[in-house]
A and B are shown apart, each in its own frame.
Chain A
Amino acid sequence: MEIYCQTIQELPEVTEKIISYGKEYTIWVLKGDLGAGKTTFIQEVARQMNVMDNISSPSYALINEYLTPKQEKIYHFDLFRVKTISEVLDLGFDEYLETGLQCFIEWPEIAETLLPEKYLEISIINPEEELRIFNIEKHG
């Protein structure tokens, strides 16, 4: 599925469509260059899931945890500064995925071989100014 998001004002509507399309999936990977809007998109997803926590970028912390109103954890990964697969394993990455809880993974490329069969892949392209193109692919 491909969705165009012309301005940030359209993001809530676009996000609603993606949540509905990907509702069977707990593991979402997000691809896109610096500034493509991966964290901003996850902030909007979390807002629509009624997460009360402040959704900040985990680039430094590597993994952020949030709570849903039902007190279920959501894991938010950012593997941007991770260089090797052994570092990914050291983080306990596979164990987080096995919890069955909602996981958002930014910069997933380094950990692709560790992903389960079933996951949602979202690519965000920013060809010009504010325009964002969301490409969503179902795996498994």
Chain B
Amino acid sequence: MALNIIAIESSCDETSASIIQDGKVLSNTILSQSVHEIYGGVVPELASRAHQQHIISVVNQALKEAGVSIDELNAIAFTQGPGLLGSLLVGISFAKGLSIAKNIPLISVNHMQAHILAHFIEDPKPNFPFLCLTISGGHTQLVLVSNYLDMKILGETRDDAVGEAFDKIGKMLGFPYPGGYLIDEHAKAGDPGRFKFPSTSVPGYNFSFSGIKTAVLYFLRNQLKADGQFIEKNLDDLSASIQHTLIEMLMEKLILCAKDNDIGEIAIAGGVAANSGIRDHLIGLSKYYDWKTYIPKLEYCTDNAAMIGIAGYYKLLEGALCDLTVIPDARLKF
């Protein structure tokens, strides 16, 4: 008999549900306009408690796409944290309700660990131990992954996440917010060596992206005094130079950490892993250092329930279940 897990993700903006059968993803539904066209309503930009208006339709769609009925579910996995308390509450309450109604076990999942375990959705899968650089709008972490459930954070940002640095610098360049991906677009046509920005280095494997934001601000302000059109005239070179600096700051710590731990299995995860400059840079480094690198498919990089389901699957195999007293934890650590 097949083992079916339903997974719910509602930690921040995305409402998502996924069906995992014997460790394989059958569906990964993320609230989108297309789901709404079927059930009606509008997609909010910030979900928060609005998750509750959408969760049923997203779950129904995930079951339908998977061809699995609600009575065939064997377990329910959900995001316990970290995230926004009001958003997490919707997912956890739904999970508890379904667990009681169908008498199936509950599995709590750490959202940041799930980003890393997204690498086990499809081949090629990394070999333990590996290093994972998890980069998103809210997080920047370097994690040593010894096993599915054995992970250790070796470094993280002391202030802004790298995705936030991209988005906020994008705003300074006149892009809409969040516009980090537009820096990536413009960087393709620009010269990464044209402008130099001071990168900030903090001790150990930690990161800091607040200083570069300020450095770009000062630089642009000075240049705009001399030429009011400075940004428009140099948009591609500015984008390329800024992106280059941010990538170098990430890679410096990744290289250091890989050397110190003597690890050649390198993975990246999180929404910013979609950045083409980061992907290209990593591929270049892997040739130079003889690393094996792993980059998940885009739909598994951004927030999604399939990664929660895969994490839930490995927790279930280890018997790591939780009971109905579980509560969301906005500050959940691992």
In the complex the two chains form, is B168's CB within 8 Å of A34's CB? yes
- In the complex, what distance in Å separates the CA atom of A80 from the CA atom of B138? 14
With contacts A39-B159, A62-B84, A65-B330 known, is A34 near B164, CB below 8 A?
no
- In the complex, what distance in Å separates the CA atom of A129 from the CA atom of B222? 9
Q: Does A123 contact B (CB under 8 A)?
A: no
CB distance from A125 to the nearest CB of B (A): 13
For A62, the chain B residues whose CB sits under 8 A away are 12, 46, 48, 84
- In the complex, what distance in Å separates the CA atom of A90 from the CA atom of B257? 41
In the complex the two chains form, is B45's CB within 8 Å of A57's CB? no
With contacts A56-B157, A129-B218 known, is A91 near B48, CB below 8 A?
yes
With contacts A57-B164, A63-B85, A92-B86 known, is A81 near B46, CB below 8 A?
yes
Q: Does B193 contact A (CB under 8 A)?
A: no
Q: Does A40 contact B (CB under 8 A)?
A: yes
- In the complex, what distance in Å separates the CA atom of A52 from the CA atom of B329? 18
In the complex the two chains form, is A56's CB within 8 Å of B160's CB? yes
For A140, the chain B residues whose CB sits under 8 A away are none
Closest to A78 in B: B164
Closest to B138 in A: A60
For B164, the chain A residues whose CB sits under 8 A away are 57, 59-60
Contact with B along A56-73 (1 / 0, CB 8 A): 111111110100000000
With contacts A57-B160, A60-B12 known, is A35 near B46, CB below 8 A?
no
In the complex the two chains form, is A87's CB within 8 Å of B44's CB? yes
* Residue from B12, B161, B177, B218 in contact with A57 in the complex, judged by beta carbons closer than 8 Å: B161
Q: Which residues of B from 67 to 112 have beta carbons under 8 Å from A?
A: 82-86
- In the complex, what distance in Å separates the CA atom of A74 from the CA atom of B85? 14
- In the complex, what distance in Å separates the CA atom of A83 from the CA atom of B48? 13
In the complex the two chains form, is A56's CB within 8 Å of B158's CB? yes
- In the complex, what distance in Å separates the CA atom of A92 from the CA atom of B90? 13
Q: Does B312 contact A (CB under 8 A)?
A: no
Q: Does A43 contact B (CB under 8 A)?
A: yes
In the complex the two chains form, is A65's CB within 8 Å of B331's CB? yes
With contacts A39-B160, A57-B160, A90-B48 known, is A34 near B213, CB below 8 A?
yes
Closest to B220 in A: A35
In the complex the two chains form, is A34's CB within 8 Å of B172's CB? yes
For B48, the chain A residues whose CB sits under 8 A away are 62, 87, 90-92
With contacts A60-B164, A61-B12 known, is A87 near B157, CB below 8 A?
no
Q: Does A45 contact B (CB under 8 A)?
A: no
Q: Does A14 contact B (CB under 8 A)?
A: no
Q: Does B178 contact A (CB under 8 A)?
A: yes
In the complex the two chains form, is B46's CB within 8 Å of A87's CB? yes
In the complex the two chains form, is A83's CB within 8 Å of B138's CB? no
CB distance from B13 to the nearest CB of A (A): 9
CB distance from B279 to the nearest CB of A (A): 21
Q: Does B296 contact A (CB under 8 A)?
A: no
In the complex the two chains form, is B138's CB within 8 Å of A61's CB? yes
For B44, the chain A residues whose CB sits under 8 A away are 87
Q: Does B217 contact A (CB under 8 A)?
A: yes
For A43, the chain B residues whose CB sits under 8 A away are 159
For A129, the chain B residues whose CB sits under 8 A away are 218
> Closest 10 interchain pairs by CB?
A60-B138, A60-B137, A35-B217, A90-B48, A57-B160, A61-B138, A90-B49, A87-B46, A35-B214, A92-B86
Please, could you name 10 A-B residue pairs with CB atoms under 8 Å apart, sorted by A? A40-B210, A56-B157, A56-B161, A57-B159, A61-B82, A63-B330, A83-B45, A87-B46, A87-B48, A90-B50
Give 12 new A-B contacts, CB below 8 A, not counting A61-B138, A83-B46: A43-B159, A54-B156, A54-B158, A56-B157, A57-B164, A60-B12, A60-B138, A61-B82, A63-B85, A63-B330, A82-B46, A87-B45
